[in-house]
Chain A
């Protein structure tokens, strides 16, 4: 059993458009301990999203090793990657997180359904989470009938409900006002503490960075700094 939730060893990624090459990650080495609440900050183009995509198996690195719970994602075929995402990872994106034709409840139980979890168990788990994060009584609303903050909370609930090893959130507060963003962060923190779920999220909002217990700053595809909230530099 590995001691890291995520481990990256000299990970490199370059995007190519015709003859133009744009290096997105220039040798990232990183370890994430289970239960961490980690923020990745940096300006646009610094490689935050690429890093999250590679950790989440949404994209593949050109070089290096990407291990999630000890599994080398570079070696997994596409089908296995999909299975890993379904069983062990949760995702929260910047916006448009939900399927518009499903209700909040159906969106939240979507991944459970795909996992084949029985209906009673599904409902119980979702209801519990909804109560926990303040979504009670909104179960039957469609995304179009929810505010931006409520939609993001449903997305967090969907990511959490399968009890994953790791939740990856790509700028989850980017489209929210500061009050709603703070409330969402509180929900994420609360879940992190209560369930010991590892959270890795990207942001360029200083307010959100402050809430992280570990903050990695990126610049030009490299880690510029890696600081814990207690002031320890890793």
Chain B
């Protein structure tokens, strides 16, 4: 034990024989960790933002739909009437209320929106304004007028692209035409099953999400108005559930499935409801692993180069130590100790720089607007400012991986030192 401490002490002091060289090497290696932390922070942050946006513009973290809706997209597949009440009761129970952020029943359909000058196909969404506000981002993205009010019986909010196409402004009139639907389980109310229906709506507000597919096609109107238009009073075909934390999605979906057991519905997490997005994350992660692998390789080669050079420069000293009775394993420990000390300094530097950068990007964000000059691309599906998010587990795993890489790589120079041959290593001239 004493001799190990001595060997580590020698290793540590050897590092400071050339302080500038050691600090430069440590800085270079530390920058590797810094890059790793920045890259992971921005990746996790962008994923978090993408998920947050996707679930709030889309289905929520968990969505309840009629059985088969995910595959067919058939708007005739309505949820059985008891689903909304059961879900509402369960999600507001003592066990779940801290998990829930909001839930919104929706009636979805397609239609044609006409103005005095133009017409456009739209995806209509009948919503309860109060509940939708807690779930969707659209109410927050109103740029003209106002979102639907809770007691509003009529009215519509439309995207900025659609407003431009239809040349309508807030307060303007539009006519929504759609085909009445009738699910097999629902009796027709006024005999207008499958017939074209239309209603006159006044534009309450115009929103902009930055996502063209939404801004040009999605409209929201009061749920009762939509139900009346489609001829399905008190029916919806989707309940979107927004949670406080994304990580609870699977758990909540599982519990909801248990609650709704026996009812022909499908309960999906956002990953299941939006598989393309989930897969793009997997691809993104894979690409990031490759990038991080390159960074780690650079860090590893830096350690290898530095320690190997130090070992080769000190061939005589290792020969001297061996002559005095140091065993090969002790020579190796000395080198590994030196390498670990260098790694520790590098990690400390890397952590200081990396966490500093992480703090900056977490608060100020990485503003990509300069990249897009003055205008954002029409198809932009993420916020142009990415905020870094780095969990303690991510930091710990990054530090651990760099430490492990450096340790494993130091075995080679350690082996070189252990193989110091006598008396050859003692030849000076």
- A residues apposed to B, CB below 8 Å: 49, 53, 56, 58-59, 78-79, 82-87, 91, 93-97, 99-102, 110-111, 113-114, 116, 158
Min CB distance, B18 to chain A, in Å? 11
Interface 0/1 of B317-351, CB less than 8 Å to A: 10011111111101000000000000000000000
Interface 0/1 of B408-420, CB less than 8 Å to A: 0000000000000
Q: B428 and A59: CB pair below 8 A?
A: no
Min CB distance, A25 to chain B, in Å? 13
Q: B320 and A93: CB pair below 8 A?
A: yes
Q: A82 and B423: CB pair below 8 A?
A: no
For residues 333 through 383 of chain B, which have their beta carbon under 8 Å from a beta carbon of chain A? none
Q: B326 and A82: CB pair below 8 A?
A: yes
Query: Would you mind naming 22 contact pairs between A and B with Cβ atoms under 8 Å apart?
Result: A53-B422, A53-B423, A58-B423, A59-B422, A79-B327, A82-B322, A82-B326, A83-B327, A84-B325, A87-B325, A95-B428, A96-B317, A96-B320, A96-B428, A100-B317, A101-B10, A101-B17, A111-B325, A114-B3, A114-B324, A114-B325, A116-B2
Q: B325 and A93: CB pair below 8 A?
A: no
CB-CB under 8 A from B320, the residues of chain A are 93, 96-97, 99
CB-CB under 8 A from B330, the residues of chain A are 114
- B residues apposed to A, CB below 8 Å: 2-3, 6, 10, 13-14, 17, 316-317, 320-328, 330, 422-423, 426, 428
* Alpha-carbon distance between A61 and B323 when the two chains are bound, in angstroms: 17
Min CB distance, A44 to chain B, in Å? 10
* Alpha-carbon distance between A213 and B20 when the two chains are bound, in angstroms: 51
Min CB distance, A84 to chain B, in Å? 8
Q: In this complex, which of A79, A95, A99, A158 has the most chain B Cβ atoms within 10 angstroms of its Cβ?
A: A99
Q: A58 and B323: CB pair below 8 A?
A: yes
CB-CB under 8 A from B17, the residues of chain A are 100-101
* Alpha-carbon distance between A100 and B2 when the two chains are bound, in angstroms: 20
Min CB distance, B31 to chain A, in Å? 27
Q: B321 and A99: CB pair below 8 A?
A: yes
* Alpha-carbon distance between A79 and B328 when the two chains are bound, in angstroms: 8
Q: Are A114 and B323 also in contact (CB < 8 A) when A58-B423, A101-B10, A101-B14 are? A: no
CB-CB under 8 A from A84, the residues of chain B are 325
Min CB distance, B411 to chain A, in Å? 20
CB-CB under 8 A from A91, the residues of chain B are 323-324
Q: A83 and B6: CB pair below 8 A?
A: no
* Alpha-carbon distance between A82 and B316 when the two chains are bound, in angstroms: 17
* Alpha-carbon distance between A101 and B324 when the two chains are bound, in angstroms: 16
Q: B326 and A114: CB pair below 8 A?
A: yes
CB-CB under 8 A from B324, the residues of chain A are 85-86, 91, 110-111, 114, 158
B13 — nearest CB in chain A belongs to which residue? Answer: A101
CB-CB under 8 A from B327, the residues of chain A are 79, 82-83
* Alpha-carbon distance between A169 and B316 when the two chains are bound, in angstroms: 17
A53 — nearest CB in chain B belongs to which residue? Answer: B423
CB-CB under 8 A from B422, the residues of chain A are 53, 58-59
Q: Are A85 and B323 also in contact (CB < 8 A) when A116-B2, A116-B3 are? A: yes
* Alpha-carbon distance between A91 and B320 when the two chains are bound, in angstroms: 9
CB-CB under 8 A from B326, the residues of chain A are 82, 86, 114
B10 — nearest CB in chain A belongs to which residue? Answer: A101
* Alpha-carbon distance between A78 and B428 when the two chains are bound, in angstroms: 23
The 7 closest A-B pairs by CB, nearest first: A86-B325, A101-B13, A85-B325, A58-B423, A58-B422, A53-B423, A59-B423
A101 — nearest CB in chain B belongs to which residue? Answer: B13
Min CB distance, A95 to chain B, in Å? 7
Q: A93 and B426: CB pair below 8 A?
A: yes
CB-CB under 8 A from A96, the residues of chain B are 316-317, 320, 428
* Alpha-carbon distance between A100 and B316 when the two chains are bound, in angstroms: 12
